[in-house]
A = this chain, B = another copy of it.
Amino acid sequence: MTNIAFSDKTKGLSGSAIRATFKLLADPEIISFAGGAPSSSLFPCDVLGTVAEEIFRTFGNTALQYGITEGYAPLRELVRERLVRQGIIHEGDDIAITTGGQQVIDLTAKVLLNEGDCVVTERPSFVGGLNCFRSYNAVIDDVPVESDGMDIDYLEENILKKKRIKLVYTIPTFQNPTGITMSLEKRKKLLNLADRYDFYILEDNPYGSLRYSGEEVPSIKSLDVSGRVIYGGSFSKILSPGLRIGFFSAPSEIFEKMIVCKQVTDVHTPVLTQLIAYTFVTRYDIDAHIKRACELYGKQSSFMRSCISRYFPDYCSVTNPEGGIFLWCSLPERFDGEELFRKAVEKKVAFVSGAACMADPLKKYSSFRLNFSNASMENIEKGIRILGEVIESY
């Protein structure tokens, strides 16, 4: 019990699960499938060193002085043009730069949610999204993810018909943590429900560019004609997470309100990191860079899946994503993911247990998330072999 009168919205908040995981990652002996980090092997360090040095030489004052809250104008325009060209946003949509994709979730929550308001997430969902909604004291309802995305009928029958909801949070493409992509049909249905039941959709799309098989599915934003969708994206998985460059597009009134909130949060995203992202994209071939990432992640994903079929018992199932950086493993219900996590860590292998990805983390879950993007092939094989042994001997 604390003596400090924390705000109602934050008094129950605890970051210990994630923070414990971060500490594990620091142990060099751990094979970690727990993070969500892109492969360090892809970082264009030499190129960015040259870019940074040149920025200081030619735009030093811009890089070091205050910038505007919406972001460095040429970067905003560059991102806007790319997203329009990719058919993700409409020609008239505006873009602002954020301090990572996480800030898009935070700003959306802040401008839309009162304490006690209801948010719907996928089950399972992204732990950073769930914790963010918790930090606003939102009530989180979740909807099962099927092999073609969120169960839209469940959403309508079990939630929308029973209560007023304010926001649906979805990662429709290569979802975190399942890797699953929502079908076009479900995207249309979700938008239709948004109009009928008057809620907004936060389409979080950090992994969308990382497709290594299958066909593109239009963004929910691109299908939106009535101003229901806030779209969030990021350079974290295609260039660097350490630079913390995210972006969003939103209906204009929401866009403006999010900017006002960003101003009181961090004034603006660092200018230097924005200039680096801008210069890299304009000067080098980011699409070739993304293609290399897709090739690597496709190989890692398929290798991890083949290791799973070799080393895990037959009763384990795993998703088969067409992109992104995660697999989701499901075990029979007798397994407790938290217990499995502890046993695995004793054997120096880490993952994210299912509970961390759930609106109600206190129940037992037998599923867990595996990340492959920042592990060597050798460690993927070794880690999955050990994990198989841990499951067998459970």
Looking at the assembled complex, report how far the CB atom of A268 sits from the nearest CB atom of chain B, in whole angstroms: 7
Cross-interface CB contact of A265 among B13, B102, B253, cutoff 8 Å: B102
B-side contacts of A14, CB under 8 Å:
260
A319 within 8 A of B: no
Distance A205 CA – B102 CA, assembled complex (angstroms):
28
Contact, CB under 8 Å: A102 / B264: yes
Cross-interface CB contact of A2 among B100, B239, B253, B264, cutoff 8 Å: B253
A121 within 8 A of B: no
B-side contacts of A36, CB under 8 Å:
66
Count A-side interface residues using an 8 Å CB cutoff: 87
Cross-interface CB contact of A56 among B9, B52, B69, B268, cutoff 8 Å: B52
Which segment of A40-48, A284-292, A335-343, A379-387 sits at the interface? A40-48
Contact, CB under 8 Å: B266 / A102: yes
**How many copies of the polypeptide does the oligomer hold?**
2
Which segment of A141-149, A241-249, A347-355 sits at the interface? A241-249
A50 within 8 A of B: yes
Known A61-B43, A61-B45; contact A10-B244, beta-carbon cutoff 8 A: no
Q: Mark A282-308, 1 if CB is under 8 A from B, else 0.
A: 000000000000000000000000000
Cross-interface CB contact of A244 among B5, B166, B268, cutoff 8 Å: B268
Name A260's closest neighbour in chain B (CB-CB).
B15
Which chain A residues numbered 79 to 112 have a C-beta less than 8 Å away from chain B? 98-100, 102-103, 105-106, 110-112
Contact, CB under 8 Å: A112 / B66: no
A377 within 8 A of B: no
A60 within 8 A of B: yes
Contact, CB under 8 Å: A48 / B68: no
A180 within 8 A of B: no
Known A49-B53, A57-B49; contact A263-B15, beta-carbon cutoff 8 A: yes
Q: Mark A371-392, 1 if CB is under 8 A from B, else 0.
A: 0000000000000000000000
Contact, CB under 8 Å: A261 / B37: no
Q: Mark A26-70, 1 if CB is under 8 A from B, else 0.
A: 000000000111101001011011101111110011111111110
Known A243-B272, A263-B15, A272-B243; contact A22-B57, beta-carbon cutoff 8 A: no
Contact, CB under 8 Å: A46 / B57: yes
Contact, CB under 8 Å: B43 / A48: no
Known A4-B254, A259-B15, A263-B18; contact A65-B40, beta-carbon cutoff 8 A: yes
A270 within 8 A of B: yes
Contact, CB under 8 Å: B265 / A106: yes
Q: From DSSP, what is the main secondary structure of chain A's interface residues?
A: helix
Contact, CB under 8 Å: A49 / B46: no
A273 within 8 A of B: yes
B-side contacts of A276, CB under 8 Å:
272
A178 within 8 A of B: no
B-side contacts of A18, CB under 8 Å:
263
Contact, CB under 8 Å: A114 / B45: no
B-side contacts of A63, CB under 8 Å:
45, 240, 242
A257 within 8 A of B: yes
Name A135's closest neighbour in chain B (CB-CB).
B264
Looking at the assembled complex, report how far the CB atom of A60 sits from the nearest CB atom of chain B, in whole angstroms: 3
Listed in ascending order, the chain A residues whose CB lies under 8 Å from chain B are 2-10, 13-15, 18-19, 22, 35-38, 40, 43, 45-46, 48-50, 52-57, 60-69, 98-100, 102-103, 105-106, 110-115, 117, 128, 131-132, 134-135, 166, 239-244, 251, 253-254, 257, 259-261, 263-273, 276
What are 25 A-B interface contacts by the 8 Å CB criterion?
Answer: A4-B253, A6-B257, A10-B261, A13-B257, A15-B69, A40-B64, A40-B65, A49-B54, A52-B52, A64-B240, A65-B240, A65-B242, A66-B241, A99-B244, A100-B266, A100-B267, A115-B115, A128-B264, A131-B263, A135-B260, A135-B261, A135-B264, A244-B267, A244-B268, A270-B273
